[in-house]
Structure 1
Amino acid sequence: MTTDAVHTEQLIALYGGTTPVRSRWTYQASSPYTVIAEFQTSHERWVRWMFARELLVDGLVGPAGIGDVRLRPEGIPGREMLIVEIESPEGHAELELDITAVEAFVDATAELVPLGQESEHFDVERLIAEITNV
């Protein structure tokens, strides 16, 4: 972990409740509103999803999302999970993640950029430069 990013490959998802899927999650202070989740689909292929950190936070406590990424907590005490549904024109997947591991990831992101203070870390000038130099 660097001082401006959180990265983990420790989150194992279950696809269909039985097949393990390795995932890696990244958060960078330079992009304070977003997280990146990548899921390994084969030995050398990762599918990447970028979505709002706020969506991840909301999904830990209740159903969240109406688009291509939807999250919800589920389970019984002692086996609580975060259900991640991802959808694209190529297909649909429903993955189960250990909710405690995801909470630890969110906590680590909040150490870099406290929740609700994203605008203080967002570089508008950099974004304008990227858009106008296309």
Structure 2
Amino acid sequence: MTSNTEHSEQIISLYGGSTPVRSRWSYRANEPFTVVAAFQTDSDRWVEWIFGRDLLAEGLTRPAGEGDVRLSPEISDGRPVLALEIESPDGHAVLEMDLAAVQGFLAATTEIVPMGAESDHFDIDGLIDEITNV
């Protein structure tokens, strides 16, 4: 079973606690294991990061991630935030997002596909066709 149901949300992030960064968070039922966080650069270009929805869920309650994406709930200037640390060969950034806003995004994704039911929405045959027909 696949679906094209999608949820997107704009969340303002802070870089280094001071510079606002627009972000666009997306979730699609036909890609049920991942979320996409896109961040707007100075040149109006969007840079996308794709990571596991389970990593996002874990990162909302405790430090999570060992690779290029690390998440941690923190308190910044007296308010609860989700610290998102992203790293690539091109650079490194730590962004802070309102914890409640990211929790709301995750809750919206679970209305589309409940946690633990991702495999019911994942089209493995479609993936195999895509990989073998390259």
> Which stretches in structure 2 are left out of the alignment for 5+ residues?
none
Q: Which amino acid aligns with 1:118?
A: E
Task: Kindly state the Cα deviation for residue 44 of structure 1 after the two structures are TM-superposed.
Answer: 2.1
Contact 1:72 1:84 survives alignment (8 Å): yes
* Aligned counterpart, 2:37: 37
Distance of 1:113 and 1:5 partners within structure 2: 10
Distance 2:44 2:53 in 1: 27
Letter of the structure 2 residue corresponding to residue 66 of structure 1: E
The whole-number CA distance in structure 2 between the counterparts of 1:33 and 1:48 is: 16
Q: Which runs of 4+ in 1 moved over 6 A?
A: none
SS at structure 1 position matched to 2:128: helix
Contact 2:85 2:92 (C-alpha < 8 Å) held by counterparts? yes
The 3-state SS of whatever aligns with 1:120 is: helix
TM-score, with length taken from structure 1:
0.94
Alignment of 1:1-134 (within 5 A): 4-9=5-10, 11-75=11-75, 79-134=79-134
Contact 1:3–1:112, Cα closer than 8 Å, also in 2? no
Shift in alpha-carbon separation, 1:127–1:95, aligned structure 2, 3 A: same
Shift of 1:43: 4.1
Alignment: residue pair count? 132
- In the alignment, structure 1 segments of 5+ residues that lack a partner are none
Q: Deviations over 1:6-56 (max 9, x none)?
A: 0112x0000000000000000000000000000011242111100000000
